[in-house]
Amino acid sequence: MLMGERIKVLTIGGIPIHVHTSWLLVYALITWTLAVGYFPRALPDMPALGHWVSGLVAALLLFLSVLAHELAHSLVATAHGLRVRGITLHVFGGVSEMQDEPPDPRAEFLIAIVGPLASFAIAGVLWAALAAGIVPGGAPRAIVLYLLTVNVVVGVFNLVPGFPLDGGRVLRAALWRWTGALGRATAIASQVGRAFAIALMAVGVVQIVYGELLGGVWMILLGLFLKSAADASAAQVALRDALGQVPVQAAMARDVVTVPATATVAELVRDFWSHHFTSFPVVDGRGVVGVVTVHQVPQVPEEARAERRVEGLMTPLAEALVVGPRDSLLQALEKSTRNGLGRLAVLDDGRLVGYLSVKDIVHVLTLRGFDGARAAGAVPVRPPVRRAA
Ligand SMILES: [Zn+2]
């Protein structure tokens, strides 16, 4: 959905702030609609250049308002011990990328609600400034009125109770508290989110039929974005439900074929053929020292394979390659997708007791009723916990 690159613009409170290139497009679009629509209506006596400058300023302040909304989420999340990877502003607003799920319904509620509250607080301050008469007339007043309105709209839109909008997170927190089951709460809140997304798309179609092409296309894109976010969140939690309680030892291979670190690469190639495995743990006198896969073999030219040793080719054992037999398959999945090999050595007290590949985990998912495409779609990446707008 989001194409292109993102640029880091600044860091606030240890949280990196990125601007997605798609946001630059929307910045131009908002400036343009303001400069040819809103400001000429609000300030008919002002020359066109003034409308464009006001448009640029208002769009920039809108950007800062969305940033304040996201910062509120991120700061409350960090206060609850969650790791925040950063904030990205993009074409549909912003997302705070959190690496973990909130620990309890209360934290979820607070992290979610503070975003709309921040938007309403900005609107409230602007309203008070207008009421106190401290905003000069002309362009400043028109800009403040615009910002007041969009902050109310951002706050209200995000309170729609469809996951992953803030309102959907509030709903999820309530259901989570009520049922005690995060998975079930997420499933219901995502369902409402999907329904809302589809409703937005339907409104978009009606707008197009009535000749509002730009607004209609925008609604449809926003609906698609929200629907894919709701689907991704639901899949992620379903994955957590399916794998979170299953220990590694239930899925690992126990008859592990190992390769000595001193074996030559030529011998390793023969092992690949005779066992039909695509990777092996590498051992020496002390135990497991690494993992070697068939994909690493081409790094050694054919003529050198009789002399070069496996220890020079393998990926040395590191924390990312090891899992315990009683760790959950979810932890194993996260590790094995991150370590670039898709394999894990299962060690109990430093002793090799099993071997696990992403394929083994996908088999467990298939047995638990995840269809292949859904399992494969959910497996390769662990999407950051995102919030839309
Ligand atoms: Zn929000």
Cα(350) to centroid(ligand 1), Å: 45
3-class DSSP state of 104: coil
Mean pLDDT of 194-214: 92
The pLDDT tens digits for 29-38 are 889 989 988 9
CA of 111 to the centre of ligand 1 (A): 9
Cα 115 to ligand 1 centre (Å): 4
The answer to whether 183 and 241 are in contact (CB under 8 A) is yes
Residue of 150, 110, 120 whose CA lies nearest to 30: 150
Give the residue-averaged pLDDT of 375-380.
47
Q: Give the pLDDT of residue 382.
A: 38
Name the pairing type of β-strands 343-348 and 279-284. Answer: unpaired
Distance 81 CA to ligand 1 centre (A): 18
Q: Which of 145-149, 156-160, 337-341 bottoms out in mean pLDDT, i.e. has the lowest? A: 337-341
> If you measure from the C-alpha of residue 71 to the centroid of ligand 1, how many angstroms do you get, rounded to a whole number?
9
Ligand 1 geometric centre to CA of 66 (Å): 9
Residues constituting the chain = 389
Q: What is the pLDDT of residues 59-89, one digit of tens each?
A: 999 989 999 999 999 999 999 988 888 888 8
Average pLDDT value for the chain: 85
* Ligand 1 mean position, distance from CA 136 (Å): 31
Interval between CA 234 and ligand 1 midpoint (Å): 18
Edge-first strand order for the sheet with 315-316 is 259-260, 279-284, 287-293, 315-316
The pTM (predicted TM-score) of the whole model is 0.69
d(CA 126, CA 61): 12
- Cα of 114 vs centre of ligand 1, distance in Å, is 8
Alpha carbon of 198 to ligand 1 centroid (Å): 20
